[in-house]
Amino acid sequence: MKRKITLKQIARELDVSISTVSKALRNSVEISDDTKQKVQAFAKLYNYRPNNIALSLKNRRTNTIGIIIPEIVHHFFSKVIRGVELVANKRGYNVIVGLSNESFAKEVINMEMLANGSIDGFILSMSKETLQQQDYHHFNETMSQGMPIVMFDRVVSDVNCDKVIVDDFNGAKNAVKKLINNKCKSIALITTKDYVSVGKLRTQGYLEALEESKMIPQSELILKIDDSLDYEVHLEKLEAEIEQLFKSNEKIDGVFAVNELYALSAMKVARKLGLDIPNDIQVIGFTDGVLSKHATPSLTTVSQHAQQMGEKAADLLINKLESENDEEEERFQTLVIPTELIERESTK
Amino acid sequence: MKRKITLKQIARELDVSISTVSKALRNSVEISDDTKQKVQAFAKLYNYRPNNIALSLKNRRTNTIGIIIPEIVHHFFSKVIRGVELVANKRGYNVIVGLSNESFAKEVINMEMLANGSIDGFILSMSKETLQQQDYHHFNETMSQGMPIVMFDRVVSDVNCDKVIVDDFNGAKNAVKKLINNKCKSIALITTKDYVSVGKLRTQGYLEALEESKMIPQSELILKIDDSLDYEVHLEKLEAEIEQLFKSNEKIDGVFAVNELYALSAMKVARKLGLDIPNDIQVIGFTDGVLSKHATPSLTTVSQHAQQMGEKAADLLINKLESENDEEEERFQTLVIPTELIERESTK
DNA sequence: TTGTACGCGTTATCAG
DNA sequence: CTGATAACGCGTACAA
């Protein structure tokens, strides 16, 4: 099993010094054409490539960015990764992925693993557990060691760093306004518990839209789901609660759900109760997923432009990494990505 | 902006040598308890962690595995990554992700980027373009440089390495047999062009099932889709072709589709033509996706156990990396992951 | 018990 | 034009 060839080996074979080989390969003017040709030919023959690790050690930068997300089997996060990867590769960086699996402990461990020299900076979205525990010491510690962080989607004001977020508030508000314009008189909200910041903002958007239209929010129309449960259990409970909601509020003619799954469940339950979509009930969801597009009827959703978020986050991070002015006062920015309402068959 | 603390800095502060610090931190018996305590306390205070890059250079191994997939916004590949990540982390490895985006050139570039010392081995699934061009030199070159590769799902016999594959043939065969047992007399197949090996195997499974039941395969019931097109165009063309298929073969009472999207499209078209599922037509798809589960009616599918594939691939790779016996003759294995038929509402 | 020297692979600097 | 040396950060064999 051969090893990769190194400068040293080339030098030995050609009976020159290591530094001569190094210079010859970089086409230095210091080296004679003869030597250059000889070295380059040999290097090409043996397919020489500089060892990244050695370069990283020398340059004190790895040209690798770490991305930590709560879960990869989610369209939204996959798309963000794709965006990050796209920009990163274009700018000469690799991407290393860590999954927190929504666990605080795994998030911390993963960050520690990567922070010890493997990467130059982080792009991350916090786990639900971290949001719940409100323990952000690992972020602040990482940053105090000179490693920049860009957070996306699930962010928190207690951590001072660059951020890329969805305009959850206005996305939700516009969605609900759409329902109102479509003559819905009694609009239900299916959301998560408030500790997930995005859920909270979407809830606020819902309330704001109602108020602007002089409609009075009714607490019995707001369903807050506990999403910390196991997926299967969660799903079952979800449908039961939605059914309960519909049954106790027969006047409901519109539903805004803070994610795709809730929206689909609402449609499923509605159909089960013999309600027609969109004639009896109109439904709008939130997210970029495939489910919405291929559902029956296809679901009107608020698109988050996940890939674009990934791209922006990557640009933000790499810009910071490559900015020479370490001295310059730290200026953190928060990019807000506008949402877009994609109208499909679940609304009129 | 502080830098991470190093052995050298600790040594200077404490006025001892670097190696003393190193030994003290590893609790060497050579060092006096006094010194150990002093050093360890200091290191803890400043949160010292050995630099991974330096270790990688020294140990000539990075404890990182590279995974290259054609596309990340696909449930199947996301799940594989999750499986790889799970096992890798458990065994002390990181995972670095590269996307080929189904392009041969990007696959080659990505591999070259990672092969130069960044990782210890590859887990990958080939791009469609690579399969079409049948150019595998980059795999063989990588392996000849001592970097092991484990391929999964899309493999090819021309490359000699460890492999993890789905039992596509039997998965398809069993699915079609299920349709036959359910009294389907005229079963259509919606598949891809043959260069995608998995599509080919699934087609063979379909044919075998028919033959075993003494049913005669009819070419007009087999629809081969060109999936090299742009997604949107593809989708539109797909539905048109399926509609054509159904219209010219009204006797069709069963459909086996080699992926989720084709199956869903078949259901959509069937519904459009006023056919009831599963009473008029029964449908089975192939894959692990979310679409099947949340479709209406929910889709019976052949599950591929993607996460398990990722786990097996990671174990295979790490075992190889950690086996001392470089001398031992190379023995490559191919793991076949059995499929599982998940019955839902689209079949009786 | 502590320290010195070396090597991992590379490049930059300086001496020849 | 070429080569020796140092440095990136670490661990370890060996010397003191």
Residue A286: beta bridge partners?
Answer: A302
Query: What Å value separates CA B58 and C1' D4?
Result: 23
Domain residue extents for chain A? 1-50, 52-164+309-336, 168-305
Statement: residue A231 has pLDDT above 70: no
Determine whether the interchain pair B53/A51 forms a contact, defined as Cβ–Cβ distance below 8 Å: no
Chain A to chain B Cβ contacts (< 8 Å): 139
What DSSP string describes B196-242? SHHHHHHHHHHHHHHHHTTPPP-GGGEEEE-TTS-HHHHHHHHHHHH
pLDDT score, position A323: 86
Fold of the domain built from segment(s) A168-305: Rossmann fold (3.40.50)
Q: Note the pLDDT tens digit of each residue in B299-347.
A: 999 999 999 999 999 999 999 999 865 555 578 999 999 999 999 999 9
Statement: residue A217 has pLDDT above 90: yes
Smallest Cβ distance to B116: which of A3, A50, A74? A50
CATH superfamily of B1-50: lambda repressor-like DNA-binding domains (1.10.260.40)
Distance of CA A132 to the CA centre of its chain: 19
Compute how many other C-beta atoms are within 10 angstroms of the C-beta atom of residue B347: 22
Is the CB atom of residue B214 positioned under 7 angstroms from any atom of strand D? no
Distances (CA, A) of A128 to A84, A123, B63: 22, 16, 28
Determine whether the interchain pair A53/B146 forms a contact, defined as Cβ–Cβ distance below 8 Å: no
pLDDT score, position A193: 82
Q: Note the pLDDT tens digit of each residue in B90-131.
A: 999 999 999 999 999 999 999 999 999 999 999 999 999 999
Tell me the whole-structure pTM to 2 decimals: 0.93
Statement: residue A187 has pLDDT above 70: yes
pLDDT score, position B323: 86
Lowest mean pLDDT across A196-210, A328-342, B102-116, B188-202: B188-202
The pairing of beta strand B340-342 with beta strand B300-303? antiparallel
Is the CB atom of residue B159 positioned under 7 angstroms from any atom of strand C? no
A256, B232, B73, B222: CA torsion to nearest 10? 120
Is the CB atom of residue B60 positioned under 7 angstroms from any atom of strand C? yes
Statement: residue A230 has pLDDT above 70: no
Token pair listed for A32 = 């004679």
**CA-to-CA distance for B292 and B141, rounded, in angstroms?**
40
Q: Note the pLDDT tens digit of each residue in A29-88.
A: 999 999 999 999 999 999 999 999 999 999 999 999 999 999 999 999 999 999 999 999
Q: A52-164+309-336: same fold as A1-50?
A: no
**CA-to-CA distance for B45 and B41, rounded, in angstroms?**
6
Determine whether the interchain pair A295/B290 forms a contact, defined as Cβ–Cβ distance below 8 Å: no
Q: Note the pLDDT tens digit of each residue in B39-87.
A: 999 999 999 999 999 999 999 999 999 999 999 999 999 999 999 999 9
pLDDT score, position A115: 94
Fold of the domain built from segment(s) B52-164+309-336: Rossmann fold (3.40.50)
Q: Name the average pLDDT for chain B.
A: 92
Distances (CA, A) of A212 to A175, A176, A184, A185: 13, 11, 14, 14
Categorize the per-residue pLDDT at B227 as very low, low, confident or very high, splitting at 50, 70 and 90: confident
Query: What Å value separates CA B23 and C1' D14?
Result: 15
